[in-house]
Amino acid sequence: MQNFPWLTVLIAAPAVGALVVWLVPGPVRRYARQIAIAWSVLIFAVGVVMATQFETGGGYQFTENHQWIPQFGIRYYLAINGIGLTLILLSLLLVPLVLLAATKEQTTPSRQAHYAALVLALESFMVAVFAARDVFVFYVLFEAMLIPVYFLIGSFGGEGRRRAALKFLLYSLAGGLIMLAGVIAVWTQGPGGAAGFSIDALTGYTWASPTEERLIFLAFFVAFAIKAPMFPVHTWLPDAAQAAKPGTSVLLVGVLDKVGTFGMIALCLPMFPQASVWAAPVIIALAVISIFWGAFLALGQTDILRMIAYTSVSHFGFIVLGIFAFTQTGAIGSTFYMVNHGLSTGGLFLLAGFLIAKRGTQDMTQMGPGLQRTTPALAGTFLVVGLSAVALPGLSTFVSEFMVMAGAYQTHKGWAVVSALGVILAALYILLAYQKIFTGPPREDLEGTRDLTFREAWVVGPLIALMLVLGFYPAPAIDTLKEPVNDTLSVVDGARPLVVALQSEDVQEGGE
């Protein structure tokens, strides 16, 4: 079954679904939401079947490599390794949950159909971007994803959605433009030929000069840092998350932002190993600043969606820290963290969505206090999912966060120790939020607030279950991630002596 075009099917199926839901009127439109949910569950099932065919430790698999525009070295080249597989499965899992959670959000059938179509279109892009092995195709998808997200925020969000959507678009386009310069430079300065954009051909490629490599690396890294988002280019995320529907935010933060960190580990490190080592000290410093910046600002928020967005900035700091520590433990931790963060933050956004729907406000101080009396199940799930963001042992996030810090400690003791303080802040912002909403003497108007419904339980249930399973038995995930991480790090390790040599040259020159 390795020859079956799994990835193309997984890309095409959501796209077809989006077109059908969007264009076909009549009964299809009336039941658009149900059709979309059923279709996305089916696609997830296909994804799971594909995962059973995946050979752990078998390198890039399900390869589809066809010539597209030979003059520019562009190929339709798809393949995934363990990292791509886990992120694709995460995307496929989150889409049906988001659609299920959004049931009550849109009132008219036509708006429901549009929302479902946009989410399905986004799903298609998400699978494709994690599977792309051609820099050019990756770039096109990286930019194309903006379109459905722009409309998801701009057409379906709450107050201030237009502005937030525009801010999101401008930030992303600016990053994309810088990356485009890098993409063109990869073609003209790289190996060229009919496979000039294939990441294989560019892995470990010897660039003409260190300066050139660094410039191209920066072009890519800036785009990824905006997407991730890292301090100081993170400011679009809180606005977008606050204005968007929580379901949109789940996909935006849970999956889309991972494209940034995925790009760092799948493109930047293999293609520009020397430049990555060169830039690592600054990037690690920025990552640690992100951890604290996000955490402190999360503490100060009253809007629940904004708070979750800032916690994500903090978490992305950990992910980047793990990647640029260049240790096996740290990088596996980071890649595992990407999945766990999708589960945990996705869960938080979904629960926040339920809370907002029940209480009619995004302000945490207006939701509670004392909501736990009337909605004990909701309070319980919020606490569990919230604690996963704190990385409580027993939940999968603990494994990954611990690995990131342990990995960072091997090479950057000081930064690792400092970053551990971020965990304390995480406990603070989650527990304070829980306290504000759920504990204390109940407000008068809480009577009649419904507890978690059957449907809502089904939305968050799978996420909590997965976090528990992966928390107690992370071995399958870590095995899947180990080999691609090792491959990437071996490229970086090969480049490290060269960087050291260059730096000592610089020092000597400076000394003279």
Residues that bind another protein (CB under 8 A): 67-72, 140, 143-144, 154, 173, 177, 180-181, 184-185, 187-189
Which of residues 173 and 468 has its CB atom nearest to another protein in the complex? 173
Which of residues 72 and 205 has its CB atom nearest to another protein in the complex? 72
Q: Which helix (H) or strand (E) holds 452?
A: none
Least distance from another protein to the Cβ atom of residue 334, Å: 30
Find out whether the peptide bond into 369 is cis, omega within 30 degrees of 0.
yes
For the chain, what is the largest distance between any 2 Cα atoms, rounded to a whole number of angstroms?
79
C-alpha distances (whole Å) from 485 to each of 82, 262, 271, 489 are 9, 12, 14, 6
Question: Are the beta carbons of 338 and 235 closer than 8 angstroms?
Answer: no
Which of residues 89 and 152 has its CB atom nearest to another protein in the complex? 152
Show the tokens assigned to 16.
């077809």
Which of residues 188 and 209 has its CB atom nearest to another protein in the complex? 188
Q: Would you list the DSSP string of 253-277? A: IIIITHHHHHHIIIIIHHH-HHHHH
Contacts of 88 (CB under 8 A, 6+ apart): 10, 47, 80, 126, 127, 130, 131
Question: Are the beta carbons of 344 and 335 closer than 8 angstroms?
Answer: no
Which of residues 144 and 357 has its CB atom nearest to another protein in the complex? 144
Least distance from another protein to the Cβ atom of residue 140, Å: 4
Which of residues 148 and 474 has its CB atom nearest to another protein in the complex? 148
Distance in angstroms (rounded) separating the CA atoms of residues 425 and 204: 39
Least distance from another protein to the Cβ atom of residue 422, Å: 36
Q: Which DSSP letter does residue 295 get?
A: H
Least distance from another protein to the Cβ atom of residue 98, Å: 23
Which of residues 72 and 458 has its CB atom nearest to another protein in the complex? 72
Least distance from another protein to the Cβ atom of residue 188, Å: 4
**Among 491, 205, 464, residue whose Cα is nearest residue 350:** 464
The C-alpha angle 379, 384, 387, rounded to 5 degrees, equals 120
Q: Which amino acid is at 376?
A: P
Which of residues 71 and 107 has its CB atom nearest to another protein in the complex? 71
Least distance from another protein to the Cβ atom of residue 189, Å: 8
**Among 199, 210, 331, 344, residue whose Cα is nearest residue 278:** 210
Which of residues 173 and 299 has its CB atom nearest to another protein in the complex? 173
Tell me phi and psi for residue 391, to 5 degrees: 65, 55
Least distance from another protein to the Cβ atom of residue 136, Å: 9
Q: Which DSSP letter does residue 474 get?
A: -
Least distance from another protein to the Cβ atom of residue 129, Å: 13
Least distance from another protein to the Cβ atom of residue 183, Å: 9
C-alpha distances (whole Å) from 254 to each of 196, 346, 472 are 32, 6, 22
